Structure 1
């Protein structure tokens, strides 16, 4: 409580000095205001009158008066500073740090590891807000958790469990804790497909929760919440897909778009401003669409993507860059499905001319991603629901042919012209080389970077689509983490646990490769010169020292 005694200033509020938000705490500011007024009144604003001449008082009072006036004038403490890495892939999910700090060109556990903290399993990415690192996970008892870690020391501050009654079934290469948390600088928001949304303050106190019915998904949930002003945006997955906006203060639904133009399972939405209006950009199966941030009304939409969209969009210079990938759709390695008649001869037990789900073995692989031990291989059952258009749990001849036409992997650079259904005249350029399945593209210093399975990296000139290079990192295997960048460096992480640091530029220059010895599925976070990496069992912090 702040005392208003006229003779003695109130005691300094007991607030942890290590907190980044210290000087923005209202109690501190009230104390400063009171003390400033009292000191300035007593010292006549830092001066005394002697023979009509202004004479400076002690330097201590002058410093205190100036400091207090500065603190009072810098504005209200209504909100925290914008977090440096507030959600999946940082500011607006673009994967680029906004600070000017120096970042390490090598992640060396023996030289520049600041701390390493155990964490439960999961595939979510860490975020950084205030003096904390937040991450989600699932322990060996199948408990879904949100963790807060001290940003400076790596000390676990708290962990909270989501009250999920049943854990959703997920693809063997996915996790029930694949969604990354988000923060507005005051609160942290966690989403689990098995439960819904939960909001905590920075001390771990639950502020609100919103159960969201779990919808069947072929691979399990993976989208992440996104904070834009007073709204939390969430891409609802499954057969009843939707795009929704919730109020961050209490979780109340602000608007909801049922059945988006292009149903979307995985990408987090991003926001850009066009003609003075904030638009929500969401890629999906077959195309990309834009919705008004204020009410969810649809502005424009464009087809031309494959039927699977995992990466989020990236934005720059009035252009939207989107990618889509379906295994087998590579221009150099097109999927060659067996002839439908051959499939009928092998598996059509009831001779009805159709392939029933129960007739095809669950381990019948049609595409190998190249992961160790068959990790990531795609079976007929993985795509059954997507191409069973009439819902009879059988694939007909025409549906089998549709599978082939749906495999069209591409990257589009879009400058939308007008509203409604736009066409290819709004496409600045298109390329079909080196398209990733999971990692989102990175737009950095005029270049568009793509990294895909096998450690293949493509770099395009963003304004023209010119391929600058297509090369190997020297770190193979699957890639789930998206590239991120800061300080002229691009960080790329493989599922095998190898982090490659690449110099940004027109040619591939690998500065370092480090094997952390644990799988990396989450995307690293960048803040204040530190690289935060989430591996299978730990969260790591590497500095530039």
Structure 2
């Protein structure tokens, strides 16, 4: 279902950075003029990943961060790297290897990195190959890692697709295929898998849609259209509700204006009021299927379907 255009573009309002699954990374102005472009595979080696590289870059100030988590399936060889580039030139600022004991398809990650900031700490989170890892923004060195996403390495195909979510004081690390997700308290050092920094675990995890944190609640939108709401402090389940008859959903939930926005593969768009009890606000059916996540900008809701781009707003 993914393709070479799966990674999302990022922008600072003046330029756009585009990464393609083929390895091409480029910077363009809003008129479409190319500022720079190169092939990541030429610089960092051939991608060895079953369904293509789909990770979206992270832009932070003058730097562009990417996770390239892939491998040939042999636990004795390590191909995964995390890189930081100068956004203006594309030149490398740092590169760090990302070791793990993952094997087979578990070496492959389709998730995207994210930033964590709380006023005291700031670091890059990369997700894949059985671990969530925090990296220094300055040189990429590993600060801590959390495993437990695949206990006993029970599934050789447990590739990670869903991306982590981070808010001050809490990080949610999903896994895949109905496994567990892990809630983490920032501030640890080294391997925190079995430490006090692992707050709670919950199953089943979303396989593709990423989690969402709103205030003291965690929302999980699963592939079968079931929306799960958890207490962020304890992991206790507050409700579980199927919002529509659609399976194999791929879009992640979005929060805006007190509501949760959900897109289902069959084209159903649902709005649910954020809170500890399920309350549906609105639902409609588009004329096409979608595997994308909703986006809100300048008061409008945008949804990309297989054949069109839809915009919703007040008249």
Q: Normalising by the residue count of structure 1, what TM-score does the alignment of the two structures yield?
A: 0.51
Residue deviations 1:117-140, cap 9 Å, x none? xxxxxxxxxxxxxxxxxxxxxxxx
Task: Note closer, same or farther for the CA distance 1:541–1:245 as it changes in structure 2 (3 Å cut).
Answer: same
Match of 2:203 in 1: 432
Residue deviations 1:95-151, cap 9 Å, x none? xxxxxxxxxxxxxxxxxxxxxxxxxxxxxxxxxxxxxxxxxxxxxxxxxxxxxxxxx
Matches within 5 A, 1:160-179: 173-179=1-7
Residue deviations 1:235-260, cap 9 Å, x none? 11421221111110010011112234
1:445 positional shift:
2.9
Greater relative contact order (Cα < 8 A, sep 6+): 1
Q: Comparing both structures, which one devotes a greater share of its residues to helix?
A: 1
CA distance in 2, matches of 1:451, 1:544: 26
Q: Comparing both structures, which one devotes a greater share of its residues to strand?
A: 2
Residue deviations 1:397-430, cap 9 Å, x none? xxxxxxxxxxxx1121101453111233211111
1:198 positional shift:
0.9
Match of 1:265 in 2: 109
1:234 partnered with 2:66? yes
Q: Is the 8 A contact 1:243 1:260 kept in 2?
A: no
Residue deviations 1:247-278, cap 9 Å, x none? 10010011112234475521211111368342
CA distance in 2, matches of 1:204, 1:260: 38
1:507 partnered with 2:273? no
Select which of 121, 126, 129 maps to 1:282. Answer: 126
SS of the residue corresponding to residue 233 of structure 1 reads strand
Match of 2:75 in 1: none
Q: Is the 8 A contact 1:416 1:427 kept in 2?
A: no
What RMSD over aligned residues (CA atoms) do the two structures have, in Å? 1.7
CA distance in 2, matches of 1:531, 1:226: 22
CA distance in 2, matches of 1:488, 1:274: 22
Select which of 212, 217, 225 maps to 2:49. Answer: 217
Specify every segment of 5 or more residues in structure 1 that has no aligned partner in the other structure, as ranges. 1-172, 331-408
CA distance in 2, matches of 1:450, 1:241: 28
CA distance in 2, matches of 1:195, 1:423: 33
Q: Is the 8 A contact 2:47 2:53 kept in 1?
A: no
CA distance in 2, matches of 1:253, 1:475: 47
Specify every segment of 5 or more residues in structure 2 that has no aligned partner in the other structure, as ranges. 72-78, 151-157
Select which of 245, 259, 262 maps to 1:492. Answer: 262
Q: Normalising by the residue count of structure 2, what TM-score does the alignment of the two structures yield?
A: 0.87
1:493 positional shift:
0.7
Q: Is the 8 A contact 1:300 1:418 kept in 2?
A: yes
Task: Note closer, same or farther for the CA distance 1:544–1:264 as it changes in structure 2 (3 Å cut).
Answer: farther
SS of the residue corresponding to residue 324 of structure 1 reads coil
CA distance in 2, matches of 1:450, 1:417: 25
Task: Note closer, same or farther for the CA distance 1:487–1:416 as it changes in structure 2 (3 Å cut).
Answer: closer
Match of 2:153 in 1: none
CA distance in 2, matches of 1:178, 1:246: 21
Match of 1:539 in 2: 309
Residue deviations 1:349-388, cap 9 Å, x none? xxxxxxxxxxxxxxxxxxxxxxxxxxxxxxxxxxxxxxxx
SS of the residue corresponding to residue 2 of structure 2 reads coil
Larger radius of gyration: 1
